[in-house]
Amino acid sequence: MTKIALITGATSGIGYATALKLAENGYDTIITGRRLNLLSELEKRIKKNYKVNVLSLSFDIRNNDEIVKIFEKLPQNWQKIDILVNNAGLAVGLEPIQTGKIDDWERMIDTNLKGLLYITRKVAPLMIQNKSGHIINIGSIAGKEVYPNGNVYNATKHAVDALSQAMRIDLVGHGIKVTAIHPGMVETEFSLVRFKGNEKTAKDVYKGFDPLMAEDIADSIIFAITRPAHVNINDMLIMPTAQASATVINKEV
Minimum CB distance to ligand NDP smaller for 110 or for 132:
110
133 binds, among ligand 8X3, ligand NDP, none (CB under 5 to 8 A by kind): none
When asked if residue 164 is in the footprint of ligand NDP (CB under 6 A), the reply is: no
List 3, 5, 6, 9, residue binding ligand NDP (CB under 6 A): 9
Site string for ligand NDP, 77-96 (x = CB under 6 A): ----------xxxx------
Measured CA to CA, the distance from residue 52 to residue 137 in angstroms comes to 24
Clarify whether 118 is annotated catalytic: no
Are the C-beta atoms of residues 40 and 54 closer than 8 Å to each other? no
Binding-site ranges for ligand 8X3 (CB under 6 A):
140-142, 150, 185, 190, 246
Report how far Cα 48 is from the mean position of its chain's Cα atoms.
24
CB 238 within 8 A of CB 184: yes
Residues 6+ apart with CB under 8 A from 177: 133, 134, 135, 232
Phi/psi of residue 140, nearest 5 degrees: 180, 160
Q: Considering only residues 12, 154, 164, 179, which one is a binding residue for ligand NDP as defined by CB under 6 A?
A: 12
Shortest distance (Å) from residue 7 CB to ligand NDP: 9
**What does 188 interact with, of ligand 8X3, ligand NDP, none (CB < 5 to 8 A by kind)?**
ligand NDP
- Of ligand NDP, ligand 8X3, none, which one does residue 5 interact with (CB within 5 to 8 Å by kind)? none
Q: CA separation (Å) from 224 to 8, 134, 163, 177, 233?
A: 17, 9, 18, 10, 6
Report the residue from 140, 164, 179, 243 that binds ligand NDP according to the rule CB under 6 A: 140
Comparison of 142 and 181: residue with beta carbon closer to ligand 8X3 = 142
- Residue with smaller CB distance to ligand NDP, 128 or 237: 237
- Estimate the share of the chain in helix, then strand, then coil, as percent rounded to the nearest 5: 45, 15, 35
How many Cβ atoms from other residues are within 10 Å of residue 136's Cβ?
25
Q: Which of the following is catalytic: 50, 118, 153, 206?
A: 153
Nearest-10 Cα torsion for 77, 80, 81, 82: -130
Contact region with ligand NDP (CB under 6 A), list: 27-35, 44-52, 223-231, 239-247: 27-35
Q: Which does 222 bind (CB under 5 to 8 A by kind): ligand NDP, ligand 8X3, none?
A: none
* Terminal-residue alpha carbon distance, the chain: 52
Minimal distance, residue 141 CB to ligand 8X3, in Å: 5
The Cα angle at residue 179 between residues 232 and 250, in degrees rounded to 5: 115
Residues labelled catalytic:
153
The residue ranges that bind ligand NDP (CB under 6 A) are 9-15, 33-35, 38, 60-62, 87-90, 111, 138, 140, 183, 185-186, 188-190, 193, 214
